Structures are given as structure tokens and as C-alpha cells.
């Protein structure tokens, strides 16, 4: 597919509609005061936010290449440094670019964090440029911090841009959404991810095919699977434990949950891990449903195709649909602060 003439050459795979929209906004000089980047994790939301911010701060006259990578602003932002979707240390030392996110082992972004960001954005620009604030994990804003932010959005200032990044748009107050330009990120085609892994990372065709399908349209996740062996093996462990529950008694299942969660991690970290486990299990249940319907070409976990075939006869379609609903309910329980271990044990009992 030919790249649109106004699309800036940012290192983003897929979601061309968003890059083209932002590219045109930059070219026309018509940017919004607040943006919400919404979509599942690992789609490139943070990377797009970085390059949009870099481009706004870039001092180059030629709009066809933003950011230029050569001006003083780009050097301060370390634009030419390789960055990843999870890298929060991307700001360099530019005084007009700020980022906040949920702190480790905290459930919410605090009002103090938001107030600090608002204060920074209220100061005069050091370089006569935009002032930009990026809020990661925006779904973690609590009522206090969201209200503090809302007051700023209600009185927008010239050349101040705020970008909220979220994987759960329904958790954001409608009062914030109504004052923001919403950009929805979509999963990337499997074929694009496959080609990306082969051409940019030298992955074998078999590996690229497996990881592209495993990522469910999330390029950054596919790269993590490829480059981080421990991360990949942890994922497979969660898959295989679920597929082996049916042959174990209750005590053995509880020990398997213990193995997945560990015993030396803090409260919010346990919640985070439990959410990831549930997401993995939801994918496995979906695959079991597809295998039962004889749709093997659509499964996500082709790497455990034999195990899926082995387990499919142990579940009826109604029981799998019920299990899928239980997993969705488990995610709700976690958001309501129910003990993560109890949530996972309840699922294990009912498989």
C-alpha cells in the first residue's frame, strides 16, 4: 500500500490512519489541546505520542521530515536514540516535555502527580515552543486527580498539549473525553507483523508466523516475545498451566496458581500479573472454542496446537462459553480489589 503523501515517516507499524491524521495536523498547524490515545497495550500508542511530541517541539523548517533529528530540540529529546513502546525514559532533557504514569505498586495516578504536571505546563516555555504533557495509564486517574486535570482542560492554554494514553477508555470520565480528540488504535494485520519480524529482526519464517499470531495484532508484544526469552517462556507457562488444570486435583491446581503468582511480590504487582494471566487464559479459551468449531486457522496459540487438540474434547461449547464469562467476571473482581489469588483459585476450581 502506497504511503499517503502527508504521512510523516515515523517508525510505527500499522494504524496509518492515526499517523496520517497527526501528520496532517502538524502540516496544517492545527493541533488540539488534548488527545486521548485509546487501544490495547503494545499497539504503539506510546511510540506515536513520543514522535508527535518530538515533531511539535522540532525546530526544523522543513515539514516533510518531523522530527528532523538534528536541531537542538531533537538532540535534547534524543530523537535518534532507539526507543521501545515500554521505554519511559524517552524525554531526554527537553524542559518542555513531561510525562507521568502510575507509580510502581500504586493503584492510581495521584492528585499530587497531576498537580505537578499542571504546574510544569503552566510555566513559560524555555524554548518558545509547545509545552507537552503525556499521561500514561490514564485509566488509573482517580476522582481527585481526574478533577484536577479537568480544571486545566476547561481552560486550555495556547501551545499546551496534553496526551492521555489508555487501554481502558471506559475508565475515563466523560467530562475529559468530551474535551479531547479521541484516536482509537486498532490491532495490526498479522501479515504485517510477520513481515516486520522477518525483515527487521531476522526472525525465521516459522518463528515469525507463530509470534505474529500469538501477538493478536500487537507489534510491540511480538517483538517482546522475540527478544525477551524469559517473557516468552513466562507466557507459555501460563498457557500450559491452564491446559493442564483438567488433570489435577484442587490442591495441585492451587499450587499451580502459587507458581504463577509467586510469593515475594507486592499487592499491586500481584494484581497486574493476575490480569495478564486472565488475558492469556481468555485467549486459550477462545482457541478451544475455535478448535471445537474446527477453525484451526483462526487460533492464536498455534504453538500449542497439539495440546489444544488434546483438551478440546474435555470441554463442551456451553462450558467454554461459561468459562469465558467467568474470566471476564474475574477481571471485574480484580478492578474491585478482590484478592488476586482468590480470583484465580476460583477459576481453577471451576475448570
State the Cα–Cα distance between residues 292 and 281, nearest whole angstrom: 17
User: Which cell is 337 given?
Assistant: 480489589
The fraction of the chain above a pLDDT of 90, given in percent, is 72
The 10s digit of each residue's pLDDT in 191-217 is: 999 999 999 999 999 999 999 999 999
DSSP string, 257-296: HHHHH-SS--HHHHHHHHHHHHHHHHHHHHHHHHHHTT-G
The 10s digit of each residue's pLDDT in 271-320 is: 989 999 999 999 999 999 999 999 988 999 999 999 999 998 899 999 99
Pair (212, 265) in one structural domain: no
State the Cα–Cα distance between residues 76 and 78, nearest whole angstrom: 5
Last residue of a domain, one of 162, 184, 206: 184
Last residue of a domain, one of 151, 168, 184: 184
Closest residue by Cα to residue 114 from 140, 67, 146? 146
For residue 4, is it within any domain?
Answer: no
Sorted by sequence, the CB contacts under 8 Å of residue 191 that are 6+ apart come out as 212
Number of structural domains (the chain) is: 3
Pair (123, 240) in one structural domain: no
Pair (56, 175) in one structural domain: yes
Residue 37: which domain range?
16-184
CATH number of the domain within which 270 lies: 1.20.272
Is 150 in contact with 141 (CB distance < 8 Å)? no
Pair (21, 140) in one structural domain: yes
State the Cα–Cα distance between residues 16 and 48, nearest whole angstrom: 11
Pair (130, 115) in one structural domain: yes
pLDDT-based confidence at 1, cuts 50/70/90? Answer: very low
pLDDT of 81 strictly over 80:
no
Pair (54, 177) in one structural domain: yes
Pair (175, 203) in one structural domain: no
Q: What is the 3-state secondary structure (H, E, C) of 197-240?
A: HHHHHCCCHHHHHHHHHHCCCCHHHHHHHHHCHHHHHHHHHHHH
Pair (215, 149) in one structural domain: no
The 10s digit of each residue's pLDDT in 94-108 is: 889 999 999 887 889
What pTM, to 2 d.p., does this model score? 0.88
The 10s digit of each residue's pLDDT in 233-248 is: 999 999 999 999 988 9
State the Cα–Cα distance between residues 145 and 109, nearest whole angstrom: 7
Q: What is the mean pLDDT of residues 181-186?
A: 98
pLDDT of 79 strictly over 90:
no
pLDDT of 82 strictly over 70:
no
User: Which cell is 250 given?
Assistant: 484442587
Question: To which residue does cell 510469593 refer?
Answer: 263
Sheet holding 34-38, edge to edge: 97-100, 131-135, 160-166, 34-38, 181-184
- pLDDT attached to residue 103: 87
Q: What is the mean pLDDT of residues 135-151?
A: 95
pLDDT-based confidence at 265, cuts 50/70/90? Answer: low
The 10s digit of each residue's pLDDT in 25-58 is: 999 989 999 999 999 999 999 999 999 999 999 9
Give the mean pLDDT of the chain.
90
Is 135 in contact with 165 (CB distance < 8 Å)? yes
pLDDT of 260 strictly over 50:
yes
pLDDT of 2 strictly over 50:
no
pLDDT of 86 strictly over 70:
no
- pLDDT attached to residue 77: 78
Pair (211, 235) in one structural domain: no
State the Cα–Cα distance between residues 46 and 121, nearest whole angstrom: 19
For residue 6, is it within any domain?
Answer: no
How many angstroms from the chain centroid is the CA of residue 294?
Answer: 31
Pair (104, 32) in one structural domain: yes
Provide the b/e sequence for 199-226 (b: ≥16 CB within 10 Å): eeeebeeebbbbbbbbbbbbbbbbbbbb
Amino acid at each position: 500500500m502506497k504511503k499517503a503523501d502527508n504521512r510523516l515517516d515515523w517508525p510505527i507499524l500499522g494504524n496509518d490512519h492515526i499517523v496520517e491524521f497527526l501528520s496532517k495536523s502538524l502540516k496544517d498547524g492545527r493541533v488540539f489541546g488534548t488527545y486521548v490515545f485509546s487501544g490495547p497495550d503494545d499497539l504503539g500508542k506510546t511510540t506515536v505520542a513520543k514522535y508527535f511530541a518530538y515533531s511539535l517541539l522540532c525546530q526544523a523548517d522543513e515539514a516533510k521530515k518531523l522530527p528532523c533529528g538534528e536541531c537542538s530540540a531533537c538532540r535534547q529529546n534524543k530523537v535518534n536514540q532507539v526507543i521501545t513502546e515500554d521505554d519511559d525514559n524517552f524525554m531526554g532533557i527537553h524542559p518542555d516535555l513531561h510525562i507521568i504514569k502510575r507509580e510502581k505498586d500504586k493503584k492510581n495516578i495521584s492528585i499530587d502527580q497531576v498537580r505537578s504536571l499542571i504546574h510544569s505546563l503552566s510555566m513559560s516555555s524555555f524554548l518558545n515552543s509547545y509545552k507537552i504533557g503525556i499521561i500514561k495509564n490514564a485509566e488509573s486517574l482517580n476522582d481527585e486527580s481526574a478533577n484536577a486535570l479537568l480544571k486545566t482542560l476547561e481552560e486550555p492554554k495556547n501551545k499546551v498539549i496534553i496526551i492521555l494514553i489508555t487501554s481502558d477508555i471506559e475508565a475515563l470520565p466523560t467530562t475529559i473525553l468530551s474535551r479531547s480528540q479521541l484516536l482509537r488504535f486498532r490491532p495490526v494485520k498479522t501479515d504485517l507483523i510477520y513481515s516486520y519480524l522477518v525483515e527487521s529482526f531476522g526472525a525465521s519464517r516459522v518463528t515469525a508466523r507463530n509470534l505474529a499470531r500469538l501477538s493478536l495484532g500487537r507489534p510491540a508484544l511480538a517483538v517482546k516475545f522475540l527478544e525477551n526469552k524469559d517473557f516468552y517462556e513466562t507466557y507459555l507457562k501460563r498457557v500450559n498451566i491452564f491446559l493442564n488444570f483438567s488433570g489435577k486435583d484442587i490442591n495441585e491446581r492451587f499450587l499451580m496458581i502459587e507458581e504463577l503468582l509467586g510469593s515475594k511480590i507486592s499487592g499491586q504487582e500481584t494484581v497486574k500479573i493476575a490480569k495478564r494471566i486472565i488475558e492469556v487464559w481468555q485467549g486459550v479459551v477462545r482457541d478451544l472454542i475455535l478448535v471445537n468449531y474446527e477453525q484451526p486457522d483462526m487460533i492464536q496459540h498455534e504453538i500449542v496446537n497439539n495440546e489444544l487438540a488434546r483438551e478440546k474434547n474435555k470441554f463442551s461449547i456451553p462450558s467454554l462459553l461459561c468459562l469465558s464469562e467467568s474470566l471476564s467476571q474475574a477481571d471485574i473482581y480484580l478492578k474491585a480489589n478482590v484478592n488476586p489469588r482468590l480470583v484465580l483459585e476460583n477459576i481453577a476450581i471451576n475448570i
